Structure 1
Amino acid sequence: MIKNGRHWSNWSGIEKTKPRTVLYPVHIEEVVEVVNMCRREGRTLRVVGSGHSFTALAATEDVLLSLDKMQGVLETNPNALTATVWAGTKLKALGELLHTDGLAQENLGDIDVQSIAGAISTGTHGTGIAFGNISTQVVGATVVTGTGEVLDVTEQSHPDLFKGLQISLGALGIIVQVKLRLRPAYRLRYESSRVPLKECLKRLPELAGSHRNFEFYWFPYADPCQLKTMDETEEPETSRGIGSYVSDVLLENAAFGALSKLSKWIPGMSAPVSRLCAAVVPTGGRVGHSHRIYATTRLVRFNEMEYNLPAESMADVIREMRETMAANRYRVHFPIECRFAKGDDIWLSPAYGRDSAYIAVHMYRGMPHERYFADMERIFLKYGGRPHWGKLHNLTTERLRAAYPMWDRFLELRSRMDPDGIFKNPYLDKVFGQ
């Protein structure tokens, strides 16, 4: 088992900690050894993927366990359209590995640096009214429980545990392998366009219903918004040379990074910068294999809050957000990301029992976000919002229990799976109240 240094921070840098021990197991037996050691010595452990959650979900001052040495595809079944993969496998690598076997995930988000276990444990999602979050693609998992037991879990073998594990916040055990439901590889045509926000809101049902994947970004204090659509196609993949990469990725991120630094140094420039960004939204399109089209390279770091809402409330929430922004003039230039997702029956899924809208607010790293996020959160909660588990929020167990019908059943399951509290940390104590 590989040991490493003792300093850790998440992607945005908002969470930092000094674990007493950092471990990189290379097989399941070593994961079991770590769990049993923690039980004997009364220690706690948290598992970290890529550190892309903005909360303190993975933070610990005791044992931090990374699955970075447990990556890759174990088995694919092209006939059943499934694959079993190591839980530490990063989404970017997973997409390429599956593609070599002519397979692909049915939907993904716009970030591909997370591990598959981290993505499903926090409810990571893409967009599209026909698709649930990534956890809905899981058909089986191998987990090491808080007692050191290794269980192969499916909906048929362990119905309750399966529904708990699909989004578990790492509170039920250490997921070491994941079995995914897949589909044959496919290509997508991506299109970006610019329209007035009022027009976008009027056309929401049409836009969401007529495209496989649809999302939009609107900018504080600006009129235009960016529409992004993706649809399946048989067209050949668009050639993207080094010049295109430099233009679309490096220069775009560098320009936005420079404008973000300007907004941080001179906060009064936030509104003009937001309007400038809205005015130069890129338009055009390209074709590519699905896993390459979904992902967007993010080099400018930020902090984020995202809430799930009933799908039909999207436009009303945005109008109220705009009114609140106009009244308070927050120093913010980052666009607001808006997506859709199909409802599901996963116990801790923000989309539990309802077709959903997701609205995400961002703030450049190092700029104060607390008042802006808190005011937006009040609006989200007014409309029945539930927080994305990997994003910032201010809720404690009382509000969360009221929002999740299966909350107490999850807590009962947690007490059975982790009787010694091995997987606890201060963040989970706040969330679960125990």
Structure 2
Amino acid sequence: MEDAVSEQLPVVVIGAGPQGLAAAAHLLDRGIEPLVLEQGGTVGAAISEWSHVRLFSEWPELIDQAARRLLDSTGWSAPRAGYPTGGEWVKQYLALLGAALGERVRTGVTVTGVARLGRDKVVDAGRSGQPFEIQGVNAAGTELRFRARAVLDASGTWAKPNPAGASGLPALGERAAAESGLVSYRVPPSVSHLSGKHVVVIGSGHSAAHAVIRLAGLVQRAEGTRVEWAIRRGTPSGLASADDQLPARGALGGRAEEAVADGRVAQITGFRTSEMRRTGQHLSLISDDGQQLDGVDHVIVLTGFRPDLSILREVRTAIDPSLEAVAGLAAEIDPNIHSCGTVRATGAIELAQPEPNLYVIGAKSYGRAPTFLALTGYEQVRSVVAELAGDHEAAARNELVLPDSGVCAGSGDLDGGSCCAPASNQSIELGTRTLIPLG
């Protein structure tokens, strides 16, 4: 830091999810004071919204090591094995971590902008010597202002689900249909309200597979329930893989594909939604090539998420133009290239921004790319905090080996084809859990 006063300021972390809280723990480990600003009323607020969903990562993969050291000092007993739900992840880990951080975490604060104190985006002179200014508003509507020596944006993407429209814009009629409750954008905690209904799931990833599995069970239980699974690619989902080193993730895809194979769910390929036309209490979904799904009672859109970059408008950032990911790691996570196999760990070097001491971390750093894991984020945090502490050797070191995915989920070839060879005839124990890849 050029300004000695800045050294006395905290590092502001935006977001009290897994990566934000881990960042605070690493900062404390390095003797740097963190201040975590969380929009929700509790830590892990976004995860609490999918508390009913079970992850495909096991407990050891969901706990950051600096966070573990902090919690161990409180007498915490770490869960040893198993696949937690989102709610269990919050209750048995994140909430306790937030409590251990104490007043360093401020909930109910919505960050509205980040800038350099006294320097708008255009000004060069003296820029790097100025602390950051972070503006926000609390739940009562009071405007707030904070100063920081560095900013780590771990605000995630949960608040910005992608629309159904295949162009990236909402389909015609989609906004109105969502406002009337005919369209939703999350895996539902319960599907009983859809008994006897005609439901369409839009999306080809693991969240969509999770919803399909839930609805396939409803088809068996509730007469008259009809489920269609619309994907944009010209080939089936291809989510199941015996080569997936996260076996629960491969099993999730397998169960969804079983539901298609046995006829409980009809999969419609090459369906690129263009319009949602309402007739009474029903919708007709129309694709860009004229395919039409009529008499639809409810649409569940699970097409991924995108980051909200508006709070970073007054600082200098390098963002990939297609993925809206941090530019330095975009080539490593582009689903047009990396639809299968590994995505290597990334750290401070790849995450560095033109604005010194500003980092976008966690799921937000991946923009629209779908391959983020908690382990990836924890390695990012470790590296970035080491860099802020001046430990450049530790920052450059890669301490994480990621598992192979073996899953063909890329968007590059909409009309078919795959980078993966067909899975060999290996048996996978599918079990009874429904899992989603948010770990």
TM-score range, shorter chain: under 0.3
What TM-score, normalized to structure 2?
0.27
What TM-score, normalized to structure 1?
0.27
Whose strand fraction is larger, Structure 1's or Structure 2's?
1
